Amino acid sequence: MGEVDVEVRVNGEVRRATVEPRVTLADFLRERCRLTGTHLGCEHGVCGACTVLLDGEAVRSCLVLAVQAQGADVTTIEGIAPADGELSTVQRAFRDCHGLQCGFCTPGFVVSVTAFLREHPQPDDREIREALSGNLCRCTGYQGILEAVRQAADQGVGA
């Protein structure tokens, strides 16, 4: 199978690789960039664990090919926290509200919520639930996650 050169800016850093066209963005990030915070829970676009920001939009990196991200800006969970090493408002809210247990789905939730609150800085509870419906969690029963999004919204993360 022929290989293709790709260049993607990942968390602000330019990453170049030669990959088969079929390699997913998720596998590119995990295996080529060694950014293993992006997790694969289903590889068919339902669970949301692999969510990353592609030019600011939340996408499922299992359904995007690395070559489709050519020239794009990608933000993974590793790039969500500010440079000072502190947690972001969303990350802190998840910690404060017990919004994670095993942590496997967590990167996808944090990235999805970060994008959602940018678009909807003052969501009501129904909008929050709708926004989370594309991410599956098996540990928390969503209780702490819902509280975390409320807290992050109230703290004005999207402002």
Partner 1 sequence: MSTTEARPYAGSRVHRVEDDRLLTGRGTYVDDVQLPGMLHACFVRSPFPRAAIRGIDIEAALAVPGVHHVFTAADLNPGVHEQWHTSVGPQSPETPRPPLADDEARFVGDPVALVVADSRYIAEDAAELVDVDYEPLTPVVDYETAIDNPELVHQAHGSNVIGSMAGRPPEKLADAFGGAAHVVAETIHQQAYAAVPMECRGIVVDHTPATGDVTVHAATQAPHEVRGFCARLLGIPEERVRVVMRDVGGGFGQKVVVQRDEMCIMLAGLQVAAPLKWVEDRRENLLAGGQARCEHAEAKIAFDADGAIRAAQIDYVSDCGAYPSPWPVTSSAAVGMLFPGPYRVPRATFSITNVYTNNVGRAPYRGPWQFESLAREVLLDIAAREMGVDPVDLRRRNLIRRDELPFTNPNGMPYDNISPIETFEQALGMLGYEAFRKEQASAREQGRHLGVGIANYVEPSTPGYGYYANESASIRVTPAGRVEVSVPGGSSGNSVETTVVQLTADELGLDIGDVDVVSGDTAVAGFGAGAAGSRSGSMTAGAVHDTAAILRAQILAVAARRLGGAPDDVELVRSRARLRDDPSVAVTLAEVAALAAEGGDDLEASATYTADNSIIWVNATHVCTCEVDVATGQVTLLRYIVSEDCGPMINPNVVEGQIAGGAVQGIGGVLYEHLAHDEDGNPITTTFMDYLLPTATEIPVIEYGHIETPSPGPGGYKGVGEGGAIGAPPAVVNAVADSLAPFGVKITRLPLTPAAIAGLLA
- Token digits for 100? 């994670």
Distance CA 151, CA 129 (A): 14
Of the candidates 3, 42, 56, 57, which one interacts with partner 1 according to CB under 8 A?
Answer: 42
Helix (H) / strand (E) element for 4: namely strand 4-10
Distance CA 50, CA 27 (A): 10
Could you say which residues in the range 51-90 bind partner 1, by CB under 8 A?
Answer: 76-78, 80-81, 87
Question: For residues 106 and 151, which CB has a smaller minimum distance to partner 1 in the complex?
Answer: 106
Beta strands in 12-121 (DSSP E): 13-19, 51-54, 57-60, 73-75
Helix (H, G, I), strand (E, B) or coil at 83: coil
Distance CA 49, CA 65 (A): 16
Question: For residues 144 and 158, which CB has a smaller minimum distance to partner 1 in the complex?
Answer: 144
Residue 2 binding partner 1, by CB under 8 A: no
Number of residues that bind partner 1 (CB under 8 A): 57
Of the candidates 6, 58, 67, 100, which one interacts with partner 1 according to CB under 8 A?
Answer: 100
Residue 41 binding partner 1, by CB under 8 A: yes
Within 13 Å and on the Cβ side, how many CA atoms surround 124? 1
Residue 44 binding partner 1, by CB under 8 A: yes
Give me the residues paired with residue 59 across strands: 52
Residue 40 binding partner 1, by CB under 8 A: yes
Binding mask 3-32 for partner 1 (x = CB under 8 A): -----------------x-xx------xx-
Q: Enumerate binding residues for partner 1 (CB under 8 A).
A: 20, 22-23, 30-31, 34-44, 46-47, 49, 76-78, 80-81, 87, 91, 94-96, 98, 100-107, 110, 128-130, 132-146
